[in-house]
A and B are shown apart, each in its own frame.
Chain A
Amino acid sequence: MAMEPFLSIFQTFIFPGFLFFIGLAFFFEWLDRKFYADMQSRVGPLYTGPRGILQPIADFIKLMIKEDLTPKYADKKIFNSVPVIMCALMLTAITLMPVMGNAGIISFSGDIVLAITAMTFFCILVFLAGFSSVSRYSAIGAERAVLQLLGFEIPLMLSIVGVCIASGSVEIAGIVSWQGSNLWNIAGPQLLGFIIFLVAAQAELERIPFDIPEAEQEIVAGWVTEYSGRKLAIIRLSRNLELVFISALAVALYLGGPYGPLVAGAEAFLLPLYFVLKMFLVLAVLVTVRAVFARVRIDQMVSFAWRYLIPLSLLQILITVLWRAL
């Protein structure tokens, strides 16, 4: 019994807690860059560590020691606090992820709502960051981020609602255990929902074709334009954490969480392994999408979401309800 507090501290901070996820975030950035480069017949990060695996960490450290500028007319309180809140938000949300079994480090009834809220709140933070910078590029980027939120948030929620109906639970642990005893959600009528989820996730993560709030060729870096140094490093870290979070959520909701063929006695080792491997799979899909599309325009994005994504996600809910009823 005396080990209990130590175990929970270990779980929260080391594995599968913050340290694990931060490490995974850097690893994901490397994987993302490497895979993207491979598709373009480039080499990607190469020299820092074996095959450049330490490059994201090197970039992080480099940004950390760079000069940190705050624009003169920026709203300093908001401007300075946004990166920290972003990072904290993502670290909190990520503890919900069931890496080791049915439930994450934190688990309660209705925790899926917290996950959705975290994603929406991230967008609000993006808006605050852009708006408080008082730069024209940032303002336009912030405006675009909110417009984009109007487009992708509803399909994202509806696709998650589909999952909840299918598994009959609003708790991530419940959804995962349902998938453990039944089919994986992706094998059922949720395939459509999975696709919608990935498309919306691409928008949430601001990646091509939906990297509109920071379209480099149009508005320089969008809402991040004015950030530099330490704050930029934190923002980049929290965006990598968001990437990890969304892939983990996709795995938990659709790909059966950490479950897979198990060998007795090796569960503690195999479950996280399966979980991470499935996350790589999701990442591979996300990178492929990033590689094969051009960026769309904001009005095209919003009308695409309302014209196709939302009707499709409603249809998907309908199918799920019928499927459950049968």
Chain B
Amino acid sequence: MSGSVNSGYERLFDIPIGPQHPALKEPALITLKVEGEHVVGVGLDVSYNHRGIEKAAEYRTYVQNLYLIERICGICNVAHTLTFTQCVEGVQLKDAPERAKMLRVLVEELARIHSHLLWLGVAAHEIGFDTFFMYIWLDREVSLDLMEAFTGNRITSAYNIIGGVRRDLTPEITAKIRKGMDRLEERAKFYRKIVETEKTVISRTQSIGILPPEDAIRLSAVGPTLRASGIKIDARADDPYAAHASVPFNVITCDGCDSFSRILVRIDEIVESINIIRYCLEHLPSGPIINRLPRRVPAGEFISRVEAPRGELMHYLRSDGSDKPYRYKVKTPTISNLPSLVHMLSSKGRYVVNIADVPVILASIDPCFSCTARLEKNIGTYGKS
């Protein structure tokens, strides 16, 4: 052997996952201390993609900020603009018209479907099930095409604007959405069947990444991660915003507390979103779609929360009477889920995490690191060496 190789047999060594790694779609660093295949320590660094959006928001007018905020996250852009517009409307003590509220719910759920399908595909890819991944992403095109036809763009929709929404629903689009929903519902049921019957999927996800309800509450998990631990918390039901108060829906929960139940929760949420969209199309009130608001916002502060596809999203706005925010603060769902992630990645007692489980657990919280990078910190039981 060449001289530089350490001849002593080291039992423990570090495996870096990231900042660039095939399992990650965004830069983040997960340092795993492993003993053979077993993970014995984990460190997490998510601050690779700090973009200074909160500061940038202070230099832009509210109208311009809408598009800046939209770009915090590509996938949940609808949730971000919805929260932002609610903040601005809230400080002015005004409200969007009823029709606009219903349309906001419609687009939000459309975005949820496409986000959950994206996640499902990524999860299938993480366990090496590429055929399933291809099918899911093909069906995701259905929801993206609807988004494009309705809002004018596939991903960054620019649909919610301060005081209302940008476009009205036309009968052709309504028919298109109805058709798309039928197709997606059929496919979502097919996916559920595959996930429930495919042995390799079950063996890779069941009892992996266990998060008991007590820990989920203690570590303040949010969204599907929390609901898969059997806890019924959903901002749409608990603190109804937009038209959610008048739209009936079930909060999906699952008692499995593992990655498998997180898959099931998300598939069921797709079906639930389809039902919400159908309800919205049926019960769309008539009236204007926008309530023009002044550009200057009176001094005040407002917190708004929205159930984004990944969990509860919170925005805080403090205004000082000018046309620019005085302070803007964003708390994305992933940051709330990071402590739970570290908890799930750490082996304790009989709960052993293998290297092969790490991508699965990581994917199971549906992380979105670039919208999270607002802090410079190492989390975890094991820091940078």
Direct chain A–B contact by Cβ atoms under 8 Å:
yes
| B115-145 interface code vs A (CB 8 A; 1 in, 0 out) | 0000000001111111110110010000000
Q: Is B355 an interface residue (CB 8 A)?
A: yes
Residue of B with least CB distance to A210: B128
Whether B198 is near chain A, meaning CB under 8 Å from some CB there, is yes
Q: Are A219 and B125 in contact (CB under 8 A)?
A: no
Contact digits for A195-211, partner B, Cβ 8 Å, 1 yes 0 no? 00000000000001101
Verify if A298 is at the interface (C-beta below 8 Å from B): yes
A294:B201 contact, CB within 8 angstroms: yes
Q: Which residues on B sit within 8 Å (CB–CB) of A76? A: 2
CA of A217 to CA of B21 in the docked complex: distance in angstroms?
A: 8
Most central of B16, B128, B131, B203 by chain A CB within 10 Å: B128
Q: When chains A and B are docked, how far (Å) is the Cα of A76 from the Cα of B1?
A: 9
Number of interface residues of B (CB under 8 A): 37
Contact with B127, one of A73, A137, A220, A295 (Cβ below 8 angstroms): A295
Expressed in whole angstroms, the minimum distance between the Cβ of A291 and any Cβ of chain B is: 5
Asked whether A294 lies within 8 Å of B124 as measured between CB atoms, the reply is: yes
Known: A75-B2, A209-B128, A297-B354. A217 touches B203 (CB 8 A): no
A294 touches B37 (CB 8 A): no
> Are A220 and B22 in touch, CB under 8 angstroms?
yes
**Which residues of chain A have a CB within 8 Å of any CB of chain B?**
39-42, 72-76, 134, 136-137, 140, 143-144, 208-209, 211-212, 215-220, 291-300
Q: Do A294 and B129 touch (CB < 8 A)?
A: yes
Query: Among B36, B204, B354, which residue has its beta carbon within 8 angstroms of that of A143?
Result: B36
Interface membership of chain B positions 239-257, coded 1 if the CB is closer than 8 angstroms to chain A and 0 otherwise: 0000000000000000000
Please determine whether A297 and B356 come into contact, CB atoms closer than 8 angstroms: yes
Distance from A215 Cβ to chain B, minimum over Cβ atoms (Å)? 7
A-B contact pairs, 6 of them (CB 8 A): A73-B2, A208-B129, A218-B359, A220-B21, A294-B128, A294-B204
Q: Output the least CB separation between B165 and chain A (Å).
A: 35
Tell me the bound Cα distance from A292 to B131 in angstroms.
7
Distance from A14 Cβ to chain B, minimum over Cβ atoms (Å): 37
User: A140-B15, A209-B128, A217-B126 are contacts. A297–B357 as well, Cβ < 8 Å?
Assistant: yes
Q: Report if B170 contacts A (CB, 8 A).
A: no
Q: Which residues of chain A are within 8 angstroms of B203 by Cβ–Cβ distance?
A: 296-297, 300
Q: Are A294 and B357 in contact (CB under 8 A)?
A: no
CA A83 to CA B142, docked complex, whole Å: 45
B190: interface (CB < 8 Å): no
Cβ-based interface call for B91 (8 A):
no
Least CB distance from B329 to A in Å reads: 34
Cβ of B13 under 8 Å from chain A: yes
Tell me whether A295 and B128 are in contact (CB under 8 A). Answer: yes
User: Please, which residues of chain B bring their CB within 8 A of the CB of A140?
Assistant: 15, 34, 37, 355
Give the complex CA separation of A208 and B124 in angstroms.
Answer: 13
Q: Which residues of B contact A211 (CB under 8 A)?
A: 128
Contacts of A212 on B, CB cut-off 8 Å?
Answer: 356
Query: B79-112 toward A: CB 8 Å interface, digit per residue (1/0)?
Result: 0000000000000000000000000000000000
Nearest neighbor of A220 in chain B, beta-carbon distance? B22
Contact A296 B200 (CB under 8 A): yes
Residue from A40, A143, A216, A295 within 8 A of B134 (CB atoms): A40
Q: B138: nearest residue on chain A (CB-CB)?
A: A41
From 129 to 164 in chain B, residues with beta carbon under 8 angstroms from any chain A beta carbon are 129-132, 134-135, 138
Chain A positions within 8 Å of B126 at CB level? 217
By beta carbon, the residue of chain A nearest B2 is A75
Measured between beta carbons, the chain A residues less than 8 angstroms from B177 are: none
Cα A42 to Cα B357 in complex, Å, equals: 29
Nearest B-chain residue to A208, judged by Cβ: B128
B contacts, CB < 8 Å to A:
1-2, 4-5, 13-16, 21-23, 34, 36-37, 124-132, 134-135, 138, 198, 200-201, 203-204, 354-359
Interface contact A42-B134, CB-CB below 8 Å: yes
In the bound assembly, the distance between CA atoms of A143 and B38 in angstroms comes to 13
User: Which of B2, B5, B36, B204 has most A Cβ within 10 Å?
Assistant: B2
Chain A CB count within 10 A is highest, among B4, B125, B200, for: B200
Measured between beta carbons, the chain A residues less than 8 angstroms from B2 are: 73-76
Q: For A39, what are the chain B residues with a Cβ–Cβ distance below 8 Å? A: 131
Query: Using Cβ atoms and an 8 Å threshold, which residues of chain A touch B198?
Result: 293-294
Task: For residue A298, give the distance in angstroms from its CB to the closest CB of chain B.
Answer: 6
CB of B353, distance to nearest CB on chain A (Å): 11
Q: Are B5 and A134 in contact (CB under 8 A)?
A: yes
Using Cβ atoms and an 8 Å threshold, which residues of chain B touch A220? 21-22
Max chain B C-beta neighbours (<10 A), residue from A143, A211, A298: A298
Shortest Cβ distance from residue A288 to the other chain B in the assembled complex, whole angstroms: 10
The CA of A291 and the CA of B124, in the complex, are separated in Å by 12
Contacts of A299 in B (CB 8 A): 37, 354
List of A residues within 8 angstroms of B127 by Cβ: 217, 294-295
Q: Of B14, B201, B356, which is in contact with the most chain A CB atoms at under 10 Å from its CB?
A: B356
Asked whether, in the complex, the Cβ of B130 is within 8 Å of the Cβ of A217, the reply is no
B7 to chain A, nearest CB (A): 12
Q: In this complex, what residue of A is CB-closest to B359? A: A217
Say yes or no: A215 contacts B37, CB within 8 Å: no
Min CB–CB distance B166 → chain A (angstroms): 34
Contacts of A292 in B (CB 8 A): 131
Contacts of A72 in B (CB 8 A): 4
Chain A residues with CB under 8 Å of B200's CB are 209, 293-296
Chain A's nearest CB lies how many Å from the CB of B122? 10
Give, as a whole number of angstroms, the nearest-CB distance from A35 to chain B. Answer: 12
A296 and B357 alpha carbons, distance in the complex (Å): 10
Q: Which of A39, A74, A208, A218 has the most CB of B within 10 A?
A: A218
Instruction: List B contacts of A208 (CB < 8 A).
Output: 128-130
Shortest C-beta distance, A149 to chain B (Å), equals: 15
